[in-house]
């Protein structure tokens, strides 16, 4: 009687090794029938349907204003992070540093081409901490400060966006890296590959669902209004920069609820909630000061920059996060130089079309005017 072990091996058909006898093949008493259909013709029809559907979707996306551009995902950020050298000039922070700084002009004025690591809707701290903890880095950091995002607590979207990018730079797999390199040529030529806006999940979020008791709809994010190249240099599209365009007006009205702080929770006393928020902000100041000290200890430099804003958004930010609050405390706690655009007539005369970012042309001129202040602050 055969043992249970040998019977088990025969049924599993263990994989063949070098110079080993092949396992026994158990014959099957059935065959899967293949219907006699014109498979070549069916294949051609399916391919044509897929091409037609993809072409129709591409035509529709372009008709509503989308154009081919790279997706700003964690893998593209990681690819750019790898280009940071020990003495690089690195731009970090939110989308204002992303849109408002021109890499060509900064290279001319500072002598080095900066590496663009700023991210839309992101807190600067995770990237600052990552660079401060990188013992090989002793270069220069240009850090944008939008107060509410700069002190965003853990677990909020601005913090999570920065943390995910930093985490991917340390854990990216070869498959993820190869996927990014393969995706870029397609994204540069196909408009419907805008993964943050044209997926089914994002399209469903656009449904006009009203607020209800105990079910508040989160503010919508702005739609596509900028392009991105392989250096992660963002440029506002012309339609958004046109005075009075529908896209411009739409984005302006999106910023206001996004930058308006939510009401405090009803289950926590207002005073206690205020103390917790204050403690969290103080903790962020301490963490930022520690990172700056660590960077400077090995010869690195950093300058904080407050970029232009306009219209109702400026009024809202001036009211909710005045200069005497977060900005002054960041400069005081870190001892680092800061450039506040309103201090200089040549920097304060710019208008942001959609209230938060400069147009492509203005970003070039703003960068030219900013360079002397950067050189002075960084002692270059």
Listing DSSP states for 301-370 in one string gives EEEEEE----HHHHHHHHHHS-TTTHHHHHHHHH---EEEGGG-HHHHT---TTSSS--HHHHHHHHHHH
Count of CB atoms within 10 A of residue 203's CB? 10
The number of distinct structural domains making up the chain is 1
Distance CA 220, CA 98 (A): 20
Sign of the Cα torsion 355, 357, 360, 362 reads: positive
Find the range with the poorest average confidence among 58-67, 81-90, 125-134, 230-239. 58-67
As a whole number, mean pLDDT of residues 147-151 equals 92
Higher pLDDT residue, 256 or 24? 256
pLDDT of 3 over the 60 cut: no
Q: What is the pLDDT of residues 181-221, one digit of tens each?
A: 999 999 999 988 886 777 777 666 667 777 666 666 666 77
In a domain, 185, yes or no: no
In a domain, 219, yes or no: no
pLDDT of 118 over the 60 cut: yes
In a domain, 157, yes or no: yes
As a whole number, mean pLDDT of residues 312-337 equals 93
Higher pLDDT residue, 168 or 204? 168
In a domain, 248, yes or no: yes
Three-state SS for 215?
A: strand
The boundaries of the domain holding residue 152 are 85-176+226-378
pLDDT of 96 over the 90 cut: yes
In a domain, 217, yes or no: no
CATH number for 298 = 3.40.50
In a domain, 253, yes or no: yes
Q: What is the pLDDT of residues 288-317, one digit of tens each?
A: 999 999 999 999 999 999 999 999 999 999
pLDDT at 32: 77
Mean residue pLDDT of the chain comes to 87
In a domain, 202, yes or no: no
pLDDT of 61 over the 80 cut: yes
As a whole number, mean pLDDT of residues 331-349 equals 94
pLDDT of 27 over the 70 cut: no
In a domain, 209, yes or no: no
As a whole number, mean pLDDT of residues 265-269 equals 75
Q: Taking Cα atoms as reference points, which of 346, 342, 335 lies closest to residue 372?
A: 346
pTM reported for the whole predicted model: 0.83
Distance CA 219, CA 274 (A): 23
């Amino acid at each position: 009687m055969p043992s249970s072990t040998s019977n088990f091996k025969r049924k599993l058909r263990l994989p063949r090794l070098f110079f080993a006898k092949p396992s026994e093949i158990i014959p099957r008493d059935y065959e899967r029938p293949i219907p006699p259909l014109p498979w070549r013709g069916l294949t051609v029809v399916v391919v044509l349907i897929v091409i037609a559907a993809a072409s129709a979707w591409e035509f529709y996306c372009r008709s509503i204003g989308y154009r081919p551009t790279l997706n700003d995902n964690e893998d593209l950020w990681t690819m750019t992070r790898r280009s940071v050298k020990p003495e690089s000039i690195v731009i970090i922070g939110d989308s204002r540093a992303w849109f408002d700084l021109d890499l060509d002009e900064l290279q001319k004025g500072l002598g080095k081409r900066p590496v663009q690591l700023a991210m839309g809707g992101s807190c600067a701290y995770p990237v600052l901490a990552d660079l401060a903890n990188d013992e090989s880095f002793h270069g220069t950091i240009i850090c944008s400060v939008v107060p509410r995002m700069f002190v965003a607590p853990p677990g909020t979207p601005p913090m999570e966006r920065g943390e995910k990018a930093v985490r991917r730079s340390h854990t990216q797999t070869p498959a993820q890296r190869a996927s990014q390199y393969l995706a870029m040529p397609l994204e540069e030529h196909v408009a419907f590959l805008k993964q943050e806006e044209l997926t089914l999940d994002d399209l469903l979020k656009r449904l006009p669902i009203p607020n209800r008791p105990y079910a508040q709809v989160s503010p919508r994010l702005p739609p596509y209004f900028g392009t991105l190249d392989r250096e992660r240099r963002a440029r506002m599209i012309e339609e958004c920069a046109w005075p009075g365009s529908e896209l411009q007006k739409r984005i302006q009205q999106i910023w206001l609820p996004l930058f308006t702080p939510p009401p405090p929770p009803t289950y926590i006393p207002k005073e206690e909630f205020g103390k917790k928020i204050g403690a969290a902000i103080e903790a962020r100041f301490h963490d930022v000061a520690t990172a700056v000290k660590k960077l400077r200890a090995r010869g690195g430099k950093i300058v904080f920059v407050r970029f232009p804003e306009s219209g109702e958004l400026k009024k809202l930010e001036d009211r909710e996060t005045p200069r005497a609050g977060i900005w002054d405390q960041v400069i005081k706690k870190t001892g680092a130089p800061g450039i506040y655009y309103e201090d200089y007539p040549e920097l304060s005369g710019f208008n942001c079309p959609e209230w938060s970012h400069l147009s492509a042309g203005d970003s070039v001129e703003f960068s030219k005017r900013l360079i002397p202040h950067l050189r002075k602050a960084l002692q270059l």
